Amino acid sequence: MRKFWVILALMAFAVFGFAVKGDPTTLVDLTISEPDTMDPHYAYDTASGEVIYNVYENLIAYKGESVTEFVPRLATKWEILDGGKTYKFYIRKGVKFHLGGDLTPEDVEYSFERGLIFDPAGGPMWMLWEALFGIDSLEGFVEETFGVPYSDMIDENGEAKPEYRDKLISVYTDYIDPAIEVEGDAVVFHLVRPFAPFMSILAQGSSWSAILDKEWAIEVGCWDGKADTWWKYHDIQKEESPLYAVANGTGPYKLVEWDRTQQKVTLEANENYWREPAKIKKVVIWGVDEWATRRALFEKGDGDICYVPAQFLSQIEGKEGIEIIKGLPTISVTALHFNWSVKPDSKYIGSGKLDGEGIPPDFFSDEHVRKAFSYAFNYDAMILQVLRGLGKRVPYALPEGLIGYNPDLPMYEFNLLKAREEFKKAFNGQLWEKGFKMTLLYNTGNSARQTAAEMLKFYIEQLNPKFKIEVRGVQWPTYLDTYRKGYLPAFIIGWLADYPDPHNFIFTYYHSNGVYGHSQGENYEKFVTTPLEELGGKTLNQVIEEAVAETDPAKRQEMYESVGRVVYNHALGMALYQPLGLRVHRSWLKGWYHNPMRPGDDYYAYSIEF
């Protein structure tokens, strides 16, 4: 069967006319999975972000390999005023969008306002809400401002209820619109308080800050720019977004095709690019999930870049014409987190009961279950054998190098005796007697996550023959949708920093409104909003919110360490590893550079020289 897929893939190259060795104008990137969406305000994964990075542009960009210095993009210069509460960006003139529209300051204003209004659940717009308004969502802002949940203001048809219509209009006219203003050739952002990571939130690589063509966006069906309609465009479903499968940026590449059947994205150079056109004229990003197929294509010379799982690295080491770069620093963590309140109709919890044929939706609300899982994972073997040493242990979901990291914080060890003890305590002993059955998913092509899931299955099933875990692979967009909607009992997921600050990890993983915290269910939310004696009577949410506002690094360090101890004491997820980067490409590819904040490749920087 494996041979069949290799042959099929090679035939596809012949049929679809992909690049072969000898063509310096076409680049093929052999990767895994495919984008989740082309909508910059919904995209929150690296597969989507890589495309958006090359098609759209932001006001500023990181300077080369730096994560702290910035250079102009669609803004020519900027000013930080009012003690860090006001940011003024002067917009570049003479820039055109791919479909012919001229870049204006109004496009910039519209792009950010549309994103704030859209604010999809579990999406990236919380960062801009937090930076501009000090709260992490539109719906949270509405409830805090008016004392009424947003959902109570909207009727079953998605229209504003008459008694709340004026209040909803004022959300835009009195708050969103004044926060982002056009002043001549500039766009001005007004923050409610200084927010140090704001520049990083705006930088190239942050899809949520990409600039849209206002007229085109409205024409294709995005928010019409009016104050009395915005709620119709809030939190719409992914496929319902007019930007789901189309793109119109100002960047060096245009989106030509997104072939969902082939998991293939094709880009072509923007010959009217405001800098100079890219040297590589065509880019094919192809999600080839099966390693043997991907390897065969790469070794044949039909790929310029290849995603190589660390455990397979020895299969290509020493091959002529292949460049391998190992141990690259990352600002990233891969972790497993538990859903404390799985949707009852989930097909991944079997019977939905504690009867040996499934698990109840609140299975992971039991602290002993979480601790048992945490003891049943061989962390060192994962790093040494699976990642081939290209990773390190971290106490909780915070990478080394950021404030709050302390290698001396407690970590779970691989200990099956302790795992057994915890399982026997779970559900007052009933779990050990009755057993359980559940499903763990991983995204196909990600062999590290597959192995992590299989490792848990192997060790946990050893403890009790009544324990059953099915491990199953699904496509990346399916994986994202399933965990976001609350159907997975547990999910293995990585996080590449949106900006290099601990808040971006701690809030994401552990705050109930964080991207991953939100997906851990209502019972998790109850826990993190309940005062804890170990936090001096504060809630975990409260400490996380206070830590980002603290300006004293020593105090921030102490606050985040207290979060780390709560994570350990209550087994709030399993930090599996902080990866070290691995890069594999053909030696004929020139211009590659490493920036840990970039979601994938910067094709504009490349050339192919045989």
> Around Cβ 506, how many Cβ atoms within 10 Å?
28
pLDDT at position 22 is: 73
Strand partners, 62: 70
Structure tokens at 141: 């802002």
286 within 8 A of 445, measured Cβ to Cβ: no
3-state secondary structure of 22: coil
Residue 98's Cβ-side half-sphere holds a number of Cα atoms within 13 Å equal to 23
103 Cβ partners below 8 Å, 6+ apart? Answer: 74, 91, 92, 93, 95, 96, 97, 211, 213, 250
Superfamily (CATH H level) for 332-579: Dipeptide-binding Protein; Domain 3 (3.10.105.10)
What's the confidence (pLDDT) of residue 601? 98
Lookup: tokens for 98 = 């791919």
The rounded distance, in Å, linking the Cα atoms of 225 and 117 is 10
Residue indicated by tokens 């269910």: 521
Classified as helix, coil or strand, 575 is strand
Distance CA 594, CA 329 (A): 9
Domain residue ranges of the chain, discontinuous segments joined by +? 2-34+260-328+581-608, 55-240, 332-579
Q: Is 316 exposed, middle or buried (0-12, 13-18, 19+ CB in 10 A)?
A: middle
Phi/psi for 324 (5° steps) reads -120, 125
**pLDDT of res. 15:** 42
**Residue 351, token pair as written in the block:** 């019977």
Q: What is the C-alpha separation between 353 and 359, in angstroms, rounded?
A: 5
Backbone dihedral angles phi then psi of residue 62, each to the nearest 5 degrees: -70, 145
Q: What is the pLDDT of residue 2?
A: 39
pLDDT tens, position by position, 197-214: 999 999 999 999 999 999
pLDDT tens, position by position, 212-246: 999 999 999 999 999 999 999 999 999 999 999 99
The Cα 61–Cα 205 span in angstroms is 8
CB burial string 447-461: b at 16+ within 10 A, e below:
bbbbbbbebbbebbe
Q: In residues, how long is the chain?
A: 610
Share of the chain above pLDDT 90, in %: 95
The domain made up of 55-240 is a member of CATH 3.75.10.20: no
Q: Confirm if 518 and 122 have CB atoms less than 8 A apart.
A: yes
pLDDT of residue 12: 47
Q: Which residues contact 512 (CB under 8 A, 6 or more apart)?
A: 518, 520, 524, 525, 528, 529, 541
Question: What is the model's pLDDT at position 112?
Answer: 98
Q: Which residues contact 145 (CB under 8 A, 6 or more apart)?
A: 171, 175
3-state SS record for 305-359: EECCCHHHHHHCCCCCCEEEEEEECCCEEEEEEECCCCCCCCCCCECCCCCCCEC
Kindly state the average pLDDT of the residues 103-127: 97
- For residue 499, what is the DSSP state? S
CA distances from 406 to 276, 393, 520, 534, 559 (A): 46, 11, 25, 18, 12
Task: Assess whether pLDDT exceeds 60 at residue 16.
Answer: no
pLDDT category, 551, cuts 50, 70, 90? confident
Q: Residue 242 burial (CB < 10 Å; 0-12/13-18/19+)? A: middle
Is the pLDDT reported for residue 266 higher than 60? yes
**For residue 8, is pLDDT > 60?**
no
Give the Cα separation of 589 and 318 in Å (integer). Answer: 17
Mean pLDDT for 302-325 is 96
| Alpha carbon distance 115, 470 (integer Å) | 38
- pLDDT exceeds 80 at position 29: yes
Q: Which of 185, 139, 158 is nearest to 240 (CA)?
A: 158
Phi, psi at 156, each rounded to 5°: -65, -15
Distance CA 439, CA 489 (A): 8
Residue 1 has pLDDT above 80, yes or no: no
Task: For residue 591, count CB atoms less than 10 angstroms from its CB and return exposed for 0-12, middle for 13-18, buried for 19 or more.
Answer: middle
Determine the Cα–Cα distance for residues 471 and 461; give it in Å rounded to an integer: 12
The first and second tokens of residue 410, run together, are 């407690």
Which is the CATH superfamily of the domain at 2-34+260-328+581-608? Answer: Periplasmic binding protein-like II (3.40.190.10)
pLDDT bucket at 286, cuts 50 / 70 / 90: very high
Return the closest-CA partner of residue 493 out of 446, 528, 439. 446
pLDDT at 341 over 50: yes
The Cα 390–Cα 388 span in angstroms is: 6
Element (H, E) at 117: helix 105-118
pLDDT at 418 over 70: yes
Written as six digits, the tokens of 396 are 């909780």
**Distance separating alpha carbons of residues 260 and 266, to the nearest angstrom:** 11
CB burial of residue 315 (10 Å; 0-12, 13-18, 19+): middle
| pLDDT above 70: residue 17 | no
**Coil, strand or helix: which one is 442?**
strand
CB atoms within 10 A of CB 102: 13
How is 256-321 classified by DSSP, letter by letter?
Answer: EEEETTTTEEEEEE-TT-SS---S--EEEEEE---HHHHHHHHHHTS-SEE---GGGGGGTTT-TT
pLDDT band at 196 (very low <50, low <70, confident <90, very high): confident
Structure confidence at residue 21 as a pLDDT band (50, 70, 90): low
List pLDDT tens digits, range 436-486: 999 999 999 999 999 999 999 999 999 999 999 999 999 999 999 999 999
Q: What burial class does residue 387 get, using C-beta atoms within 10 Å of its C-beta: 0-12 exposed, 13-18 middle, 19+ buried?
A: buried
Question: 3-class secondary structure for 213-227?
Answer: CHHHHHHHCCCCCCC
